[in-house]
Structure 1
C-alpha cells in the first residue's frame, strides 16, 4: 500500500471512531435525560400531567391547523350556497362578509400564514404581483399589531371559525325575523351557538362541505 493510501486509511478510521463516539455520547445523554424526566414525573405528577396536556394540545393544534386550500374551498362553497338564495331570504351579514372576502380575493390581496398552532387569513394592502417599492420595502410594511383589523379568519381544529360564525343561519334574514335576545346570557348563548355551528333555532347547521356531497340512496332490507 502506498503512503497516500495509508494516510487515507488512517484518516477514515479516525473519522469513523469520532462518529461512533459522538453517537455513543448522544445515546448516553438521551438515556440520562429520559431517566431524570421519568423520576421528575413520578415526584411531581400534577405538574407533569399539566406539561403533558399542554404538549398534547399543541400537537393537536398543529396537526389540525387548516390549510389555505381548505379556506378557498369553504369560501367557494359558501358563496355558491348564498348565491342560490333570493335577496328576501339570504342573511345580510353572511352575504356582506362573503362579498368582502371575494373583493379582496379578486384583487389578489388574500394572504395565508400558518403560525404552527393555528392559521391566519388576512387581507394585504397590495396585490401578490405588485412589485412597487412601497409593497416590497420591509421598512414600510405595517407592524404586526397594525394588522389585526385586516384579519379575515382564524383557523384551528380543522375549521375556520369566523366563516363558520358568519355562515350560521345564512338562509335566514334576521332583519325581517329579528332574534329574541334578552340580556347578556342570551347574547352569549347565541355567540356560542354560531361558533359551534348550531342554528339560532337550535338545529345543527350542516357544513357547506357536507351539503355539496352527493346523496346516496339507502338500501332498505325487507
Structure 2
C-alpha cells in the first residue's frame, strides 16, 4: 500500500513538471504569433502617443489648455443638445404664455411664429434632426405616415438645396434660439405704436436719478397727510380758483 502511494506521488510530480514547460511554451507561442505581435505593437504605439501627449502638455501648457477647453466645450455641448421632446415642451410653454394674453396685446411676430409651429406639429410635418453638437427642427412636405405617392417616392422629394430654407429652429447649449428670439417682447403689440413718430417708438431705460425720484415719490404717496398739509393744499386750490376767476373777468 505504501509503495502504491509513493508511485502515485511520483507520477503526479512528473505530470506537474511535464505540464509546466508545456504551458510556458504555449504562452511563448501565443506571444510570438501574428496576433501577439500586432497587440504588442499597438500597445507600444498607444504608450508612445500618451507619453508624447504628456510631454507636449508639459512643454506647451497654453496650447494644451486650449485643446482641453475645446474638448470640454464640445463634450458639454453634446450632452446639453436639446431633443425633440424639449422643443415640444418649449413650444407648448410659449403657446400657453401667448394664450394668457389678449389678442390685442400679443406681438404679431411671436404669435404668428408660434401658431405656424403648432399647425405644422399637428399636421405631423415638424421633424427633428440631431447633429451631435446641435439640433435642427425643420419643416417637411408631408407626414411620414401619409401613403401618397409624393410622400413615399424619394425621386419627387424636396432637394437638399432647399433644406436650409426649411430649417425652423436651431437647438444649441440647451436652448432653442430662434424660438426665444421670436418670443422677445411677446406681450407688446407693435402695431399700436407704428403711427407714432420715430423718436417715440424707441424706448430707453430710465436713468439712476429718474429711478430714485420715482421711488421717492412712490414712498411719499403712502405717507398720511397732516392737517397743515391739507390746509396748504386747500389754500393753493383757492388761489388757483381766484386766479381763474380773475382771468375770466378780465377777458370778458
* TM-score, structure 2 normalization: 0.59
- The Cα shift of 1:181 comes to 8.1
Q: Comparing both chains, which one has the higher relative contact order based on Cα–Cα distances under 8 Å and sequence gaps of 6 or more?
A: 1
Q: Going by fraction, where is helix more abundant, 1 or 2?
A: 2
SS at match of 1:129: coil
Indicate whether 1:115 and 2:131 are aligned: yes
Unmatched runs of 5 consecutive residues or more in structure 1: 1-9, 191-199, 203-222
Q: Which residue of 1 aligns with 2:151?
A: 135
Over the aligned positions, Cα root-mean-square deviation in angstroms equals: 3.3
Alignment partner for residue 82 of structure 2, among 62, 66, 69?
Answer: 66
- Seen in structure 2, the aligned counterparts of structure 1 residues 52 and 131 have a Cα distance that, compared at 3 Å, is farther
Gaps of 5+ in 2: 1-22, 207-252
Cα distance, 1:49 vs structure 2: 3.2
Q: Deviation string for 1:104-127 (max 9, x for gaps)?
A: 111110110010010000100111
2:105 alignment partner in structure 1:
89
Q: Which residue of 1 aligns with 2:117?
A: 101
- Once the two structures are TM-superposed, the CA of residue 180 in structure 1 deviates from its matched residue by 9.5
CA drift of 1:155 comes to 0.4
Aligned residues: 176
The corresponding residue for 1:7 is none
CA distance in 2, matches of 1:50, 1:180: 51
Contact 2:144–2:151 (Cα < 8 Å) also in 1: no
TM-score by length of 1: 0.67
Q: CA deviation at 1:16?
A: 7.5
Identify if the C-alpha distance between structure 1 residues 139 and 42 changes in structure 2 by more than 3 Å, giving closer, same or farther: farther
1:160 to 155, 173, 176: 176
